[in-house]
Structure 1
Amino acid sequence: MLHYREFIIDSSQPWVTFIHGAGGNSNTWFKQLKEYKKHFNVLLIDLRGHGRSSEITWKKGDTFEEVATEVIHVLDHLKLRSSHFIGISLGTIIIQTIAQKYPNRIDSMILGGAIIKLNIRTKFLISLGSISKYFIPYMWLYRFLAWIIMPKSNHLESRIAFVNQAKKMCQKEFIRWFTLTKALNPLLNRLQNNFNQIPTLFVMGDEDYLFLPSVKKLVEENKDLSFQCIKDSGHVCNIDQPELFNEVTINYIQDNTR
């Protein structure tokens, strides 16, 4: 089972489950944990190949659905009927996959730095990474991708945090996760077709130039979705502007607690 950490304030309070992005681990949420523990029971999960779940092995043909099921197994183990979910970057794809496969397990979902579509530039970067992943040390590639996604000086802390967390992965695991991106657009198209009436908030940095435009378009077309744009923030908005991220997301969860 995936490694997890739980922080319980009261069994009657809502649960919030955090899902990190590729190359990260549950420490991605270090700027959220203190504030969230004041209001909710908190569950932090390390995805397979990350953090202290590094021993979880892959089988041929595994997809985002298998990864999503592993997250649900943690909730089953803890006897949690449902939870609010917060994800960042690739973690938002895991949460959206859970929303499709296990919609009754999600009270609300908050998608930070959400990936809902790959534009031409992103496709080029993935193709470049796919070509070079077997002969370039993965940390070189990861540093380059981190800089492309988070290029500004005010993204430095986010960049450093993700690079330092990625150092704990082995190249084999990096390649396995990178391989999942090959057929990402068809999957993302399916995920955006139906949110199963789950309250959904997109939280994006106004400097997230790779992924913000497609999220804005989706929200404009679907009035049931909520949207918050955080100023002076890049892709990893929970680290770039943690106080505002915490305020916006905590208020949203409290407003959508059953």
Structure 2
Amino acid sequence: MKENIVFIHGLTGTKRAFTKQMEYFDEGFNTYSYNLLGHGDDRGKPVEFTLENLIKQLEDFFDKEGLENAHICSLSYGCYVSTIFANKWKWKVKSLCFIGGHYNSPSQLFDVFRHYWELRDEEYSVWLKKYSHDIYPRESMIDPYSIISHKIYYKYGLQLADNVLIDAIYHRLHYDLRSDLTKLTMPVLWIMGDHDHLYKSSLTDLETVIPHVIYKEIKHAGHAANMFRPSCFNDLYEEFLNNCLFEKEMI
């Protein structure tokens, strides 16, 4: 019987962020994805973008699809949803994969979050333009990874309800995800693009937080490493999943 994988996209994205992964893994797994609150078909509509509602949405998705358990792979902010869910429903989560994941440690990334939380009363389009630029800073004059990332983030961020990205900053500043990560017992794969320096700044104590974590970097990739280098990501995730299945058979 096939095992299940649930893919969770990041802010401003949609479930299509994992199209290539779903096509690749569909032969060996049942693959699923969904749109976070305020995204997809609900893009731009008023939404109570709370962690409680996001966890309830994932719970409802498991119930709707009849999933007893699944491997969960999440992109960026999606790590908050998957981690909280995994601690609440440990027996439903077989493994976790984080792409561009981050958590509340003193870092350049969280300095940016704090700065734009303080500026949240600015006109939204102005605020978003500056915010998009600063969370994907250029490493050099020619930096395709940051250019692509901040243009996409700004374009689709404009289509969201004004509160979504600001609420997400609040969650990251005030919710202790680091504490939740220390409680994880299932296998964890953490993947970052090698050019994703700002987000990597929050991971200086990752191996202390999750001693059993498998950490990998994908070369020539930015924040959404699975989209910049899908084949490389697929290879890493496939190896991880195969090891999970092997360990299960050995028990």
The 1:105–1:221 alpha-carbon spacing in structure 2 relative to 1, beyond 3 Å, is closer
Contact 2:96 2:189 in 1 (8 A): yes
Contact 2:108 2:201 in 1 (8 A): no
- Superposition map of 1:118-157 within 5 A: 118-137=105-124, 139-152=125-138, 153-155=143-145, 156-157=147-148
Deviation at 1:221, TM superposition (A): 6.5
Q: Deviations over 1:226-253 (max 9, x none)?
A: 1111112222211222211111112212
Which residue number in structure 1 is paired with residue 173 of structure 2? 182
Which residue number in structure 1 is paired with residue 219 of structure 2? 231
Confirm whether residue 200 of structure 1 aligns to residue 188 of structure 2.
yes
Contact 1:83 1:107 in 2 (8 A): yes
Rounded to whole Å, the distance in 1 between the matches of 2:128 and 2:168 is: 12
Q: Which range is displaced more, 25-34 or 72-81?
A: 25-34
Which residue number in structure 1 is paired with residue 240 of structure 2? 252
Rounded to whole Å, the distance in 1 between the matches of 2:148 and 2:53 is: 31
Confirm whether residue 72 of structure 1 aligns to residue 63 of structure 2.
no
Rounded to whole Å, the distance in 1 between the matches of 2:127 and 2:28 is: 39
Deviation at 1:71, TM superposition (A): 0.4
- Secondary structure, in 3 states, of the residue corresponding to 1:30? helix
Deviation at 1:15, TM superposition (A): 1.2
| Equivalent residues, number | 240
- Secondary structure, in 3 states, of the residue corresponding to 1:47? coil
Q: Which amino acid aligns with 1:13?
A: K
Rounded to whole Å, the distance in 1 between the matches of 2:156 and 2:182 is: 33
Confirm whether residue 50 of structure 1 aligns to residue 39 of structure 2.
yes
Rounded to whole Å, the distance in 2 between the matches of 1:223 and 1:121 is: 23
Confirm whether residue 21 of structure 1 aligns to residue 7 of structure 2.
no
TM-score after normalising by structure 1 = 0.82
Q: Deviations over 1:199-235 (max 9, x none)?
A: 1010111222123244353226644211111112222
Contact 2:107 2:201 in 1 (8 A): no
Which residue number in structure 2 is paired with residue 8 of structure 1? none
TM-score after normalising by structure 2 = 0.84
The 1:36–1:216 alpha-carbon spacing in structure 2 relative to 1, beyond 3 Å, is farther
Contact 2:101 2:190 in 1 (8 A): yes
Confirm whether residue 241 of structure 1 aligns to residue 229 of structure 2.
yes
Rounded to whole Å, the distance in 2 between the matches of 1:65 and 1:15 is: 24
Q: Which runs of 5+ in 2 are unaligned?
A: none
Q: Deviations over 1:101-131 (max 9, x none)?
A: 1111111100111112343422332222223
Q: Which runs of 5+ in 1 are unaligned?
A: 1-11
Which residue number in structure 2 is paired with residue 85 of structure 1? 72
The 1:212–1:175 alpha-carbon spacing in structure 2 relative to 1, beyond 3 Å, is closer
1:167 is aligned, of 136, 152, 158, to 158
Q: Which range is displaced more, 72-81 or 211-220?
A: 211-220
Q: Deviations over 1:108-165 (max 9, x none)?
A: 100111112343422332222223223222x443343333333342313344443343
The 1:134–1:105 alpha-carbon spacing in structure 2 relative to 1, beyond 3 Å, is same
Q: Which amino acid aligns with 1:81?
A: E
Identity of aligned residues (%): 19
Q: Deviations over 1:59-93 (max 9, x none)?
A: xxx74243123202111111110111001111011
- Secondary structure, in 3 states, of the residue corresponding to 1:33? helix
Q: Which amino acid aligns with 2:137?
A: P
Which residue number in structure 2 is paired with residue 4 of structure 1? none
The 1:23–1:182 alpha-carbon spacing in structure 2 relative to 1, beyond 3 Å, is same
Rounded to whole Å, the distance in 2 between the matches of 1:221 and 1:118 is: 11
